Chain A
């Protein structure tokens, strides 16, 4: 199945034009979490505001199956 990781945040909407194949909704969500950690790490390194962004994981027909808040993947304690 092809999944799209659109980004919605304070700076607007970034459409994922290409998507990627995953065997299940769960595996797509796991990858989105890993990607969110990477995006957050880059923001932290640059001293940017890290609140507000999220992935909207959608299927090919546009159905949102999950949203991953970027800040939900950061472990503070």
Chain B
């Protein structure tokens, strides 16, 4: 393996695979750098590859026929994408895009299908991962319905922070507004509140986490349940 490549275990799903199961899949995993903006799948188009990120963050965007879009879910080193691949369906239902510079392993769609059929432990982990992702989406739906923009923003920042190893998140207000399905000034004013509480520092194109425990406390009800469910789903598998 090239030294610049991340280890397989830097992706949580690959890390929980028993060694013989990982060995079976490993031959087909190819490391790739995935800069911000890389389209990993497009709505209505065939899925070429399935990705296991080892760093960075991507998002799944759902778009209405008239062109309104909002983020359905985010993923990073804890998952794989596109999750539709697990169904055997070759077509992606969503646009899947890298939002914070990423890297990871990819496997061809057909090979992913073969692994699902021949590698039981692999299939078990992928199905657990889709359950974990479904839980995240469900809680995003609840959050959109019951929490205000500032709480939702706090939740979303925590979710991004969980997936990167640093406190600086290169995010524009414009981008966050698409993710939260609000207009940009709502993000600017919500960030002002978080900044006023000294949880974050908001600069042009950069968001720095200053006090994560306080941010979690602020997000309260909006954050933590899917993360807890994820840990439950990924513990004691084998």
Using a CB–CB cutoff of 8 Å, the interface residues on chain A facing chain B are: 5, 7, 14, 16-18, 20, 31-32, 34-36, 38-39, 42, 45-46, 55
Contact A18 B204 (CB under 8 A): yes
Report whether A20 and B204 are in contact in the complex, using a CB–CB cutoff of 8 Å: no
Instruction: List B contacts of A5 (CB < 8 A).
Output: 184-185, 188
A32 to B, closest residue via Cβ: B185
Closest to A41 in B: B186
Closest to A55 in B: B185
A34→B183 contact, CB < 8 A:
yes
Alpha-carbon separation in the docked complex, A20 to B205 (Å): 13
Q: Is the CB of B148 within 8 A of A20?
A: no
Contact across chains for A18 and B172 when beta carbons are under 8 A apart: yes
Q: Tally of A-B residue pairs with Cβ under 8 A?
A: 47
> Which residues of B are in contact with A by a Cβ distance under 8 Å?
148-149, 172-174, 182-186, 188-189, 192, 202-205
Residues from chain A with Cβ under 8 Å of B182 in the complex? 38
> Is there an interface contact between B189 and A14, defined as CB atoms closer than 8 Å?
yes
CA separation between A20 and B173, bound complex, in Å?
Answer: 10
B185 touches A18 (CB 8 A): no
CB-defined contacts of B172 to chain A, threshold 8 Å: 18
CB distance from A47 to the nearest CB of B (A): 11
Asked if B148 and A16 sit within 8 Å, CB to CB, the answer is no
> Can you report 13 residue pairs joining A to B where beta carbons are below 8 Å apart?
A5-B184, A5-B185, A5-B188, A7-B188, A16-B188, A17-B173, A17-B203, A17-B204, A18-B172, A18-B205, A35-B185, A42-B148, A46-B148
Asked if B202 and A35 make an inter-chain contact with CB atoms under 8 angstroms apart, the answer reads no
CB A74 to nearest CB in B, in angstroms, measures 16
- Further pairs besides A16-B188, A35-B185: 17, Cβ < 8 Å: A5-B188, A7-B185, A7-B189, A14-B188, A17-B188, A17-B202, A17-B203, A17-B204, A18-B174, A18-B184, A20-B174, A31-B183, A36-B185, A38-B185, A38-B186, A39-B189, A55-B185
